[in-house]
Structures are given as C-alpha cells and as structure tokens.
Amino acid sequence: MNNKWLYVELSTVGYKDAWDLQTHLVSARHENRVATDVVLMMEHPAVFTVGRRGGLNDLTVSQNFLKKAGIPVIQVERGGRITFHGPGQLIMYPVVDLRALNIAVTDYVGNLEEVMIRTADNWGIKAERNPMNAGVWVDGNKLGSIGIAIRHGISFHGLALNVNLSLKPFRWINPCGLQGVGVTSMERELSSRIPMSQVRTTIKGHFEAVFGVELVTADSMSLT
C-alpha cells in the first residue's frame, strides 16, 4: 500500500463540478493514470443531493419552493437518501482503491466516522456512532453524514461534517430519509462559530492518523 496519498484542498466548489472531478479521478485511478489515492476537501454552495435509496418524497416542501430559494436538487449514485450541503459544512471526498487498501466497505465507513468523531472531540463535542445508521451523532442529532459509491473497486463521495452550517434547510427534508431526526452542528453545540481553517487542519490530521497515511498537497489542475 502506498502510504502517501494526494491531498487537494479547495475552497467552495459547485456540487456538479466536484462530482465531475471525482468521476474523472475514479477513471484515472482505475487506469493507473493517477498512481495513488486522492483526498479532496472543500465546501459546497447550497444544494440537496439524493442518493440511490432516496427520492423526492423525502422533501417536505415543493420543488417550486426550493427553486424560489435557489437550491437545486441533484440525483447522485452515492448510498443513502437525501441530504443538504452548504457553506459551513466541511466535505471530504476520498477517492480510494479499497482493494489496494485491503479494507472492507463497513470498516472504511467506520474509519470515516472515526475521523469525524475525533475531530469533534477536539472541541469537546462527544459524537458517537449509531449502529442503525451511518454517520456521527450528538444526543440523537446528526452532526456528520457519510455516503459513498464504489466503481471499479474505487470508493468516492465521502463525508460531510456540519461545522458552521445553517440548519434551516434540513427542515425541508427528512434528513437521510429518517423522519423525526434532528440535525446539529459544531457551532450549535458550542454556541459559537469555529474557524473553518482550524477544522480543516484538524480533520486532515485525524484522517492521516486513522488511515495511517500521509496526505501530500497537490493541485487539482495536475490531476485533470
């Protein structure tokens, strides 16, 4: 296993642009045009995404309402159902050859959860797993989500950690298709905003520790 993975840190990237970059990297990794795994970090403008098991019935408002609010709804191939992404939510998209890593999908998802749990703990937030649902939770409210897809044995999509995210749009959906489930953020738990730059640095370090790799900074342009 190559213990040095490429790391691309971006600011705010449109969801479809990020999706296109991931699918390009999956093909490049499969064809060995990119010889190692890649981790993308970013935020998204406001968007709802619907996974393989979801549908528009998970919306609690009309599509016309969302259109007026300027929030698109995008169907994607990741697992799970509907979720919201927006500014203040930290996204990590690892593009990882699970076969080369020799890790089961359940263990890989568990590692992504562990990365978020350790990150939250740095700010004194005690997040935990829910054995029935992927992601991490604080007192029954969802703090971080996980949804992945696998193509050619390569995982993409990834995790979303609510840092300073507006939680209002979650009222317009059944988050992850779960009725009556609350959503929280690090800001809400601490009653204060957290510098996103600090969270980015912290979660990167925990990712390296959990996966036993070194993330080497790269430019996205060098991978396209």
Cβ distance 105 to 115 under 8 Å? Answer: no
Q: With residue 178 as reference, give the H or E element that holds it.
A: none
In the three-class reduction of DSSP (H, G, I as helix; E, B as strand; rest coil), residue 196 is classed as helix
Query: 42 has which bridge partners?
Result: 91
Quote the CA–CA distance of 195 and 221 in Å, as a whole number: 27
What is the SS3 assignment for 97-146?
A: EHHHHCCCHHHHHHHHHHHHHHHHHHCCCCCEEECCEEEEEECCEEEEEE
Of 8, 71, 92, 176, the active-site residue reads 176
Alpha-carbon distance of 175 to 85, in angstroms, equals 11
Catalytic, 15? Answer no
Residues marked active site are found at 176
